[in-house]
Structures are given as C-alpha cells and as structure tokens.
A and B are shown apart, each in its own frame.
Chain A
Amino acid sequence: MLAYTDRIKEIARALLTDCRVELVIGFRKGTVPMMNEPCFINSPDEADQLVWDSNCGINLANYLANRTEKIGIVAKGCDSRNIATHIIENKIGRDQLFIIGVPCQGMIDRRKVNAMFDGEVREVVESDGLVTVRGADFEKSFEKSELLQQNCSVCTHRNPVIFDEMAADPVDEQQGVDRYADVREIEAMDPQQRWDAFEKLLAPCIRCYACRNACPLCYCPTCFVDEARPQWVGKSQNPVDVRTFHFLRAYHCAGRCTDCGACERACPVGINMRVFTKKLEKDCFESFGWEAGLSPDVRPPLDTYRPEDPDDFIK
C-alpha cells in the first residue's frame, strides 16, 4: 500500500509539474480510523497529501460529472468502470482525463470493524494483508480478507478497466466467487416475505440521501424526489415514500451500477440498499450478459435494441 501511495504521489506530482492536468483528484488521510477524505490538489507541492490504503471506498468518479478542466484522477477497479460509464453518458470527456489506475485489493468495511468491538476503535493499521485494530483496551489482528466490504469480497474487476498509467502491477482477479447469493436469498422468498424484508431493511432510513449523493450515477440536476412540480414523492418519513425513493433510485441505476458499494458505505444508519441495485445488476447480467462500465465504447443494454433481447415478460 505504501508503494502505491508513493507511486500515486510521483505520478500526480509529474502531471502537475508538466501542466498536463489542472488538478488531481485522490484521497488524503482522514481524521478518524478507516476513513480517507476525497480531495483535489492543484500544485505539485501538494502531492504529498495523497494517500492510498484500504480506506478509499468512496467512488471518485462521483467528483467528475460536468467538470470542464483537465483532470488527473486516482481510480480503482470500480471507479474506472464508473468513469467509463461517465464517458458513455457524456458527463466527462476521455481526453479530459488522465487516469491513474490502482489495482485494488478491496476496501475495509468500517461498519463491520466497529461492530466487532464493544469499545471504540481508535486505530487501524495494515501491513502485508494483515489489519490490526486497536482500541483503548484491546488489540486484534485480522486477515484483511475477513474485513472486506461485502461488495469487495465478491468483486471480479479489481483492476482498472481504463487507465493512462498504473500505480502498480495488476492484481489477480478473484475467481469463482458467487456474486449473487444475497439476491437469491430474496428471490427465494414469497411476496409477503419480500415486502416485509424490505420494510425492515428500510425502517432506519432517515432520507439523508447519502446513498444517492455518494453514487456516481446519481448526477441528475434535480432528483425525482426533489421535484416540486409535479411532486412525485412525499417528503415525510412515511414508509411508502421512503421505499419509493429507494427502489426508483435503484431503477435509475439499472445497467449502470458497478456495485462499487459507495451507497452502502455512505449510509449513516447501515442500510444495505445494494440489495435493490444488485437485483438489477444480476438481471442485466443474466438477460444481456452485461456488466456495467467495462468499456467506454460499448453502448449499455438499456439504450440498445437487439432482436434477441429476452421478451418473455410481454404477454
């Protein structure tokens, strides 16, 4: 990880020194354990701020939409897929970007780590795949693989799909992972059980919209929940409105979601709203063989028609 950071700094410094970009978007060290803060730097002396470790779960593609500058951006596998999606959707031009690719080995699930201990987690250090968690009166080490975010543990695209320069050699992709066990669990339920399961899932939601705003796909100038004329969705804590928000947002991400996990990571009350988006991701994969953002040159399934598209749902 240290080597990654050094290399990212070097590349960023060179880019800014040679004026090849106006700013570089990356991460700087956070102020609490397991958090780094997305930041931009626009002078070579600031390159030393940049860091890379297993706490860079925020998807940096989120900071690109509609920007007009030339930008250097640090991108792990999922970030790069969302950058490709942005390019397809004309939110940024490929020629505006210098992508510093980072082969990713997964991000730490800070919620999971915090939940493992009674006391407060004060420090989390990682070295060579080993993560040590310390509190005021405890210390425990884990294999990093035990602490990964769920989406990272089933990720099959750890290496950036597009990049201009890599910060390290590609890592091996995970083989034989079962990506959709959680979705199948819901599929196995009857309608009432499903309804109840989602009711329970969404009960703690406070509609802060952190999931939406952390999502690189959610760049609409005005979200449908914010529309006032007409007003599509009520704004109270009514469970119907809360659910409408979540499932419509998921629909808007159909065929675009890369399961980067930014939404779940951002949620202050620990809702796994990925069970919505993942169902659509699974359907897109099964119906169209589609995985979002693998190339900026292929049109997504929802804006293309092929005669062989499945249509057995139409009577």
Chain B
Amino acid sequence: MEMIKIDKKDWNKGLDRSRKTYRLVGPVKRAGEDLAGFYELADKEHPDMGAADTVLSAKSVVYPQTEVMFRYTTDKNSPDCNRLKRPAADYSPRAVIGIRPYDAAAILMLKKNFDTPDYRDPYWCDAYEACTFVGLAVDAPSSTDFSTSTGSGPFSEKGLDVLLVDMAGHYLAKVLTDKGAAYMKAAGWQRAADAKAAAQQIEKKKKAAEALIVSSVSFDKIARKSILDLYKADFWDDVAFSCINCGTCTYVCPTCWCFDIQDESKGKTGVRYKNWDSCMYPLFSLHGSGHNPRGTKTMRARQRFMHKLKYFLDKYDDGIMCVGCGRCVRSCPVNIDIRRVCELMNRYGPDPDACAV
C-alpha cells in the first residue's frame, strides 16, 4: 500500500496531465447554484474539492439517469434492418475525482445487482470497469451522515482505488489498487510519503472525523424479525402519511438501482433506453391488467424501506442497502427520515435478544 504526497500546487497540473489518458469526472457546479452532482469535466475545468457534498450521488457516473441501450430500424433498405445495435459509447478510462467514500461503497452495492454470476449488465459493467475511483475522505461529516453505522465511514476505503486525505497544504494519497497506481502515474504524482508517518496522520484524521459523526442507525435486530411481522407493522401509515410519492429519495440515493425501459420510435427507426425509476411511483408496479399490487402510497413507502433495510439484508447477509450518506434525509421535501424508520423497524415487535421465559 503506497502513500503519496500531492502538493496542492501540483493538484490541477496533475489532473490536467492525466487528461491525456483519462476522462475526468467530478463534482462541479453546472446549471444552477447547487453542487448538483458528478459531471464529466470540460477541458481546464477542475473538480470542486470543498467540504460540501453533491445533492445527487456519484452513481450517475456508472449508471446515468438516461442511457441508450440500442437503436433499431425496420427499414428493409437498410443493411441494419431488424438489428439491435448498441450505440458506440466512450468506455475509455475515466477517473472519478472527489467521490466520497460512502458513494464508492454504494457502487459496490450496485455491483451486486448489475454484475452477477447469472447476469451481467454490459452498460453498467463497461462503465464500471472504465472507472478509477479517486476518493476524498470526509473531514467534516454532516449531521445527517450516519455512514459509520452502515459499514462505510468518512475514511472508508471500500470501492476506492485511491483515498485522498486533505492535509491543508497537500493531499496524502493512499493508493489502494493497481488501477489507482496507474492513475497516480498518469497524473505524475509520484512523490512517496513516509508510509508509516502518513498512515498515522491519516488514522488521526480518521478518528477525528468519525468522532464528528452525530447520527447513527441500528439494524442489528432486523435480520431476525419476520418479514411478515415487519410488513404488517402498525407504524407504516404514520411513516408514509407525509410522503408525496415523489422520486427524490430514490434519485439522490447512491444505492437505488431500479430502472425502467422505454422505447421511442419515429417512422421506421427507434431507440430503446433505460431511465432511473422509483418505487415511489404508482407506475412502478402497475400491471398490464391495470391491477397495482402496490396501490397505495403507504405500500410504496414501505417497499422502499423494506427493500433497503430488510429484503436486502436477508438476501445478501451483508448489511443494509444504505451507506448512510444522509442525502435522502436532507432532500426529502416532507422530512421523512430513514434513520427514524430504521429505528422503528429495529425496535418493532418482540425483542429477539430478550430471554425466553
């Protein structure tokens, strides 16, 4: 594990140097006042490495909101008649600069869905493989950050190729993978830091950052509760009452992976694309027959929390489908708080740890 010291005055220069072989993606202000999300950086544009996190997660880097799957034509005169052609997309190496550790951890969760032994989503996998994740450790976690209780954390290395730690005048870069080492080389950042001292400095900052985390969730008892008990729990009406069934929580979420497939055709040609979808929408589960198994907003809100905090937990036995970034808490227009719901679920019904009498 290599430690590299990057002087801040070499930062932009290195980024620019790496553009020869990498497309750069990072948090920048685009179209509006907000640091809305991660975008491909234009020439000479540099990522915002400030403390503020983006409104949307970094998932769009590997999983764009709208993505063309294929084009087709039914024109008999075309040599491509009735063929489904995947559009040429740019899967050359891209470096994701300034991704937060919890977002990188979330991308590994997405991987569980898009890259499985049985099915491999080529769009997601190709984009993922093209990426080198150069993460920025979080020094000042927000009050809605509960990442430490989800198995991630402000200095988590999960899913990252490089972890950058801001040391005021310079960054300490902890190179975690070969991909990460290759990027550091491309950027020309090669000044090795004293590994032991750097590790100590990082450890100190990590402890300090973790100490600043003020919120947490517990889900230790959820796995041992029955699905049906939780499903029928009496708190769902109260939790879901304020829900307006918009898709904000699912769209800002780094771990929500559901998509919808749409066709648009004009004359003899057409395109099939996928869009982010949201379990908050009535259309999400509407059957062709007109029946909707999740016909009420309470059912839809319950689905979101049950999927994240129970079904996922049961299926993968690897924690909840949430990295604790706090985005849904901050962005929900009506202040539905996953931390509260998780607590309700964890506390619901008989305590599985209680002594039998």
Contact = CB atoms under 8 A, between A and B. Distances in A.
B32 to A, nearest CB: 4
Contact of A37 (B33, B34, B334): B334
- Dominant SS at the A interface? loop
Given A226-B283, A234-B264, A203 B31 contact: yes
Interface string A189-221: 000000000001001101111101110000000
A228 B282 CA distance: 13
A132 interface: no
B208 to A, nearest CB: 13
A269 B273 contact: no
Nearest to B241: A40
Contacts of B244: 62, 210, 213-214, 266
A35 interface: yes
Interface stretch (B14-22, B105-113, B147-155, B336-344): B336-344
B93 to A, nearest CB: 25
A93 interface: no
A170 interface: no
Given A38-B241, A210-B248, A271 B32 contact: yes
Contacts of B65: 206, 237
Query: Which of B32, B66, B244 is the most central at the interface, judged by chain A CB atoms within 10 Å of its CB?
Result: B244
Nearest to A62: B244
Contacts of A122: 143
Interface in B246-281: 246-248, 251-252, 260, 262, 264, 273, 275, 278, 281
A270 B32 contact: yes
Given A39-B238, A208-B247, A31 B340 contact: yes
B331 interface: yes
B246 A209 contact: yes
Contact of A269 (B36, B246, B330): B36
Nearest to B297: A213
A129 to B, nearest CB: 24
A136 interface: yes
B82 interface: no
B55 interface: yes
A238 interface: yes
Contact of A208 (B30, B278, B282): B278
Contacts, number: 119
A38 B242 contact: yes
Given A31-B337, A38-B241, A209-B246, A204 B66 contact: no
**Size range of the chain A interface in the assembly:** 35 or more
B33 A270 contact: yes
A258 interface: no
Interface string A118-150: 111010000000000000100000000000000
**Size range of the chain B interface in the assembly:** 35 or more
B50 to A, nearest CB: 8
B320 to A, nearest CB: 18
A206 B56 contact: yes
A242 to B, nearest CB: 11
Interface string B165-195: 0000000000000000000000000000000
A235 B66 CA distance: 9
A235 B275 contact: yes
A208 B248 contact: yes
B107 to A, nearest CB: 19
A128 B330 CA distance: 27
A238 to B, nearest CB: 7
Contacts of B260: 235
Nearest to B212: A136
B335 interface: yes
Contacts of B51: 118-119
Contacts of B285: none
A270 B37 CA distance: 13
A298 interface: no
Contacts of A210: 244, 246-248, 333
A78 B241 CA distance: 21
Contacts of A222: 282
A236 B262 contact: yes
B34 A204 contact: yes
Contacts of B50: 118
A209 to B, nearest CB: 5
Nearest to A60: B242
Contacts of B33: 115, 270
B329 interface: yes
Nearest to A270: B34
Contacts of A228: 283
A63 interface: yes
Contacts of A30: 335
Given A136-B140, A206-B65, A268 B248 contact: yes
A61 to B, nearest CB: 12
A266 B333 contact: yes
Contact of B333 (A115, A235, A265): A265
A216 to B, nearest CB: 10
Given A118-B51, A266-B333, A269-B36, A39 B273 contact: no
B294 to A, nearest CB: 15
B336 A37 contact: yes
A36 interface: yes
A31 B329 contact: yes
Contacts of A236: 66, 262, 264, 273, 275
Interface string A20-32: 0000000000111
A265 B333 CA distance: 7
B174 to A, nearest CB: 26
A107 interface: no
Given A236-B262, A237-B66, A63 B241 contact: yes
A203 B30 contact: yes
Q: Which 9 A-B pairs have the closest CB atoms?
A: A203-B31, A266-B333, A210-B246, A213-B244, A38-B242, A208-B247, A236-B66, A35-B335, A37-B335
7 contacts: A31-B335, A37-B334, A38-B242, A208-B246, A209-B247, A213-B246, A269-B55
